[in-house]
């Protein structure tokens, strides 16, 4: 048998991203863009399916980014082109765009871009000019790494600058309150125009992270803290395993999880499941069982995941902030929290799949300190916290296990905690 070679997905260096997106813009529109803006994909270190429950999440921004070369127009037309299909130009009218199910619905990828302009205007930030935009992204599509949020957030920082909204600031001096407002508009674009009922972690990561840090995101009040996460400095790496198993956030499974959480919260008389104290969990689960409403066993499992996941996130944040190096017992505990998160997502939340489970089992057996699925699940990606020198070895073990199991080849990324959305110099 030929040896399996793990394939790492590289990120586009800024100069290449600049040349590619500017070149695509020139070819498609015969003019120069006003600038090139970018926004990163993300992986979540822990705190999964907590965002729409008002809980905590801990994402990092990836070095893999969506880039948008954009120029404002004198009218209200939007023209879009993507390097995925450089000869096809999508044309939209900013006055006609509307939510899913309405006459103005947008059924292609342009929903993520045009939807942001629509949402900014609805938030009172218009009227905006129409625009031409050329997109070049190296965030793997459908990999559960927030390729769509990256598109939205790159568009948001571009429109912020060309329409002088003054909300984003710069990467060196971000306007965090302004960025939080842009996050809300990007979430509206995704929920209402693209029709994916997601929770906001992805857009927050893309706009509000910092290089070398994870973002402690409190989804109850939108506040953030930047938690030191200098992996390379501590001889560690975060290996992303893109399972390539197909997944979708608009196929109903994600929405069903969200609906179950809302049902539990209603039965328990809380606004959001994050309002449940971890110490009260056993009593609250008994209440759910006794309620006789819905499928009580399912509601118990979903609720247990959310409340325990928030507790795990609090513990990992506290560990990362204690000032000691991420080594020894501390590293072992961080890994154990990641492992426990995956188990909870597998057994209680039921959002993993054979490809994700095999990725984490194999990574752990090959020496990872901890491993878990990341993002929405049902496919997408897993992450493994590994010693930097072991990253190839662990990737090789996973690729080999996939081949033995007859799964398609996975792809790998090295997830260094990177900078948030901004303008490419």
Point out the residues that are catalytic.
202
Contacts of 207 (CB under 8 A, 6+ apart): 39, 153, 156, 157, 168, 179, 180, 182, 183, 186, 420, 421
Q: Which is nearer to ligand GLA, 202 or 348 (CB)?
A: 202
How many residues touch ligand GLA under the rule CB under 6 A: the total is 13
Measured from the CB of residue 379, what is the shortest distance to ligand GLA in angstroms?
12
Within residues 347-376, the interface with ligand GLA by CB under 6 A covers 375-376
**Sole binder of ligand GLA in the list 17, 21, 35, 51 (CB under 6 A):** 51
Candidates 1-9, 49-57, 158-166, 365-373: pick the segment binding ligand GLA (CB under 6 A): 49-57
Binding mask 13-32 for ligand GLA (x = CB under 6 A): --------------------
Using rule CB under 6 A, residue 6 touches ligand GLA: no
68 is an interface residue for ligand GLA by CB under 6 A = no
- Tokens encoding 68: 């948008």
Q: Which residues pair with 377 in a beta bridge?
A: none
Residue 69 or 111: the one with the smaller Cβ distance to ligand GLA is: 111
**Residue among 236, 207, 240, 246 at smallest CA distance from 224:** 207
- Residue 48 as a binder of ligand GLA (CB under 6 A): the answer is yes
Between CA 31 and CA 22 the distance in angstroms is 9
Whole-number minimum distance, CB 198 to ligand GLA, in Å?
Answer: 3
Q: Distance between CA 144 and CA 139 in Å, rounded?
A: 10
DSSP labels, 245-283: ----SSSSHHHHHHHHHHHHHHHHT-SSGGGS-GGGHHH
**For ligand GLA, the closer CB: 54 or 110:** 54
Mask for 171-200, x = binds ligand GLA (CB under 6 A): ---------------------------xxx
By residue count, the chain amounts to 425
Q: List the structure tokens of 24.
A: 């695509």
- CB-wise, 198 or 264, nearer to ligand GLA? 198
Map residue 204 onto helix, strand or coil. Answer: helix
Q: Do 205 and 189 meet the contact criterion of CB atoms below 8 Å apart?
A: no
**Token pair belonging to 395:** 């990737």
Residue closer to ligand GLA by CB (options 22, 341) is: 341
Q: What track of x and - describes contact with ligand GLA for positions 196 through 215 (by CB under 6 A)?
A: --xxxxx-------------
Burial of 127 (0-12, 13-18, 19+ CB in 10 A): exposed
Please state the closest distance from residue 286 (CB atom) to ligand GLA, in A: 27
Show the tokens assigned to 208: 């509000």
- Residue span binding ligand GLA (CB under 6 A) among the ranges 43-51, 83-91, 314-322, 412-420: 43-51
CB of 399 to ligand GLA, least distance (A): 24
Applying the rule CB under 6 A, the residues between 221 and 280 that interact with ligand GLA are 249
DSSP run (H or E) holding 98: none
Binding site for ligand GLA (CB under 6 A): 44, 48-49, 51-52, 198-202, 249, 375-376
């Amino acid at each position: 048998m030929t040896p399996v070679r793990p394939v790492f997905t590289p990120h586009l260096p800024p100069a290449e991203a600049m040349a590619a997106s500017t070149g695509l813009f020139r070819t498609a529109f015969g003019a120069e863009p006003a600038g090139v803006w970018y926004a990163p994909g993300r992986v979540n270190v822990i705190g999964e399916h907590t965002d729409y429950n008002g809980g905590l999440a801990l994402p990092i921004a990836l070095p893999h980014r969506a880039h948008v070369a954009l120029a404002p127009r004198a009218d209200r037309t939007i023209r879009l082109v993507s390097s995925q299909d450089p000869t096809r130009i999508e044309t939209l009218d900013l006055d006609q765009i509307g939510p899913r199910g309405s006459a103005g619905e947008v059924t292609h990828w342009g929903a993520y871009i045009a939807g942001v302009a629509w949402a900014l205007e609805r938030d009172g930030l218009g009227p905006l000019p129409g625009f031409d935009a050329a997109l070049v992204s190296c965030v793997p599509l459908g990999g559960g790494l927030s390729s769509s949020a990256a598109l939205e957030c790159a568009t948001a920082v571009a429109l912020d600058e060309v329409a002088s909204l003054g909300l984003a600031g710069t990467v060196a001096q971000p306007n965090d309150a302004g960025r939080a407002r842009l996050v809300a508009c990007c979430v509206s674009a995704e929920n209402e125009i693209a029709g994916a009922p997601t929770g906001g972690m992805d857009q927050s990561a893309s706009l509000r992270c910092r290089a070398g840090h994870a973002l402690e995101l409190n989804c109850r009040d939108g506040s953030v803290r930047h938690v030191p996460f200098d992996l390379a400095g501590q001889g560690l790496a975060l290996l992303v395993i893109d399972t390539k198993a197909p997944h979708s956030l608009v196929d109903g499974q994600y929405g069903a999880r969200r609906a179950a959480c809302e049902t539990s919260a209603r039965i328990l008389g809380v606004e959001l499941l994050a309002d449940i104290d971890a110490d009260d969990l056993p009593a609250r689960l008994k209440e759910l069982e006794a309620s006789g409403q819905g499928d009580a066993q399912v509601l118990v499992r979903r609720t247990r995941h959310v409340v325990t996941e928030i507790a795990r996130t609090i513990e990992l944040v506290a560990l990362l902030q204690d000032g000691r190096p991420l080594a020894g017992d501390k590293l072992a505990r961080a890994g154990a929290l990641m492992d426990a998160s995956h188990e909870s997502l597998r057994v209680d939340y039921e959002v993993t799949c054979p490809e994700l489970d095999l990725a984490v089992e194999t990574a752990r057996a090959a020496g990872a300190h901890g491993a878990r699925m990341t993002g929405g699940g049902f496919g997408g990606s897993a992450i493994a916290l590994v010693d930097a020198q072991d990253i190839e070895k662990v990737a090789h073990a996973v690729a080999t296990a996939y081949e033995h199991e007859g799964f398609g080849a996975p792809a790998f990324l090295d997830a260094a905690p990177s900078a948030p959305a901004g303008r490419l110099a």
